[in-house]
Amino acid sequence: MYDFNKKRNQKVVAIVIIVVIAAMLVTTFVSSLV
């Protein structure tokens, strides 16, 4: 049970990191267009 929760948390953290990086890339791309 504990291991399952730990793995799920790692997955959530990875998704959050990917979303943050994607947001940063989109922001820099948009600002370079403007």
Tens of pLDDT along the chain (34 residues) come to 567 778 888 999 999 999 999 999 999 999 998 8
* Percentages (nearest 5) of helix, strand, coil residues in the chain: 95, 0, 5
The per-residue pLDDT for 6 is 80
Give the span between the Cα atoms of 31 and 34, in whole angstroms: 5
Domain extent at residue 8: 1-29
The per-residue pLDDT for 22 is 98
User: pTM of this prediction?
Assistant: 0.65
Tally of structural domains, the chain? 1
Q: Is residue 14 part of a domain?
A: yes
Q: Is residue 34 part of a domain?
A: no
The per-residue pLDDT for 1 is 57
Q: For residue 34, what are the CA distances in angstroms to 2, 8, 15, 17, 25?
A: 48, 39, 29, 26, 14
